[in-house]
Amino acid sequence: MIKVGIIGATGYAGNEIVRLLLEHKEAEIVWYGSRSYINKKYADIYQNFFKLVDAKCMDDNMEFLAEEADVIFTATPQGLCASLINEEILSKTKIIDLSADFRLKDVATYEKWYGIAHKAPQFIKEAVYGLCEINREQVKGARLVANPGCYPTCSTLSIYPLLKEGLIDPATIIIDAKSGTSGAGRGAKVDNLFCEVNENIKAYGVASHRHTPEIEEQLGYACGQKVLLNFTPHLIPMNRGILITAYASLTKKVSYEDVKAAYDKYYEKEAFVRVLEKDVCPQTKWVEGSNFVDVNFKIDERTGRVIMMGAMDNLVKGAAGQAVQNMNLMFGLKETEGLMKVPMCP
């Protein structure tokens, strides 16, 4: 039984980690960390766990946790994980960091986009970017996994095969992203009130969203060159789900079958990436509550572009689910353990 400590258990991602691990056969949660609710019963914060979780919220004592837990999930704001870890901790336990602290390999880029100094740059090189479908082998041996951002997960998986196969021009990539509101977190802000979000749609972080360099770095690995792209997220009046609509110019005339073959090459054996049938557009409701990413594409012969689409649940594959998938890999478990949830609809 893997002992799991969670730091940041009362955010939406933390809450989702708990939901998944309660149904996971090989893991048990030993620590519900939440600075905001110390000593409060966890099930009083999230009543869905009434009679299912009896524990109280604890502080974020990582030294203690390093002794007690086999793995620590940090579902906390940027900067916290980097400020807490050190060699001693990493020598005793594994860490899956859901924040952005170890996602970018270039410190300067991190500090520029996030506006804070990096507290533990010495671990950046070691950290493995936990996009399981692409970095599976490295994840298996990692002590420190940087769990990918929600938008980068869906964007990268939607675009990766075509870029890797040289079918699209990296200089032409435009990603128009749409996310449910749980991605904005559980902080009490006017902008996220029901009446502000409901019956509304807006873009935000236009040309400045922090997930941009993360996507660019990952896609850069795919094509072997520096990638600059446009990424525009939008806030959608729904709880869960991310939809990516990405555009790029094709490098040559290709058929439906050519492009389909590229997707299949990378995803045919993947448990969690579903390449949909011809002309079926991904919809977030078909993946809700699950760890699936549904991808598909459409060639536009008139403009010479391909439209790439991806849908996933931002709290599962975009956060907690992928974190558990990484844990499974790191501990040599079946990769799908605890994650074969059937999407729930309506």
Nearer to a second copy, 28 or 300 (CB): 300
C-beta of 142: minimal distance to a second copy in Å?
28
The candidate with the shortest Cα–Cα distance to 177, out of 151, 201, 138, is 151
In this structure, are strands 71-74 and 94-97 parallel, antiparallel, or unpaired?
parallel
Q: Examine the residue annotation and report whether 150 is marked as an active-site residue of this protein.
A: yes
Nearest-angstrom CA–CA distance, 268 and 336: 15
> Is residue 302 packed enough to be buried (19+ CB in 10 Å), middle (13-18) or exposed (0-12)?
exposed
58's CB contacts (< 8 A; 6+ apart) are: 31, 32, 33, 34, 38
What is the rounded distance in angstroms from the CA atom of residue 253 to the CA atom of residue 6?
49
Least separation in angstroms between CB 18 and a second copy: 8
Toward a second copy, which CB reaches closer, 139 or 227? 227
Half-sphere exposure of 275 (CA within 13 A, CB side): 23
**Helices 150-164 + 211-223 axis angle, to 10:** 20
Residue 54 or 63: the one with the smaller Cβ distance to a second copy is 54
CB of 204 to a second copy, least distance (A): 6
Inter-helix orientation angle 321-330/12-22, to 10°: 50
For a second copy, the closer CB: 182 or 328: 182
Per the listing, tokens 């090989």 go with 26
**Closer residue to a second copy, CB minimum distance, 56 or 285:** 285
> Of residues 81, 132, 150, 223, which has the active-site annotation?
150
Smallest distance, Å, CB 249 to a second copy? 9
Contact 22, 89 (CB under 8 A): no
* CB of residue 298 to a second copy, shortest distance in Å: 4
- Token readout for 215 is 């996507």
| Active-site amino acid positions | 150
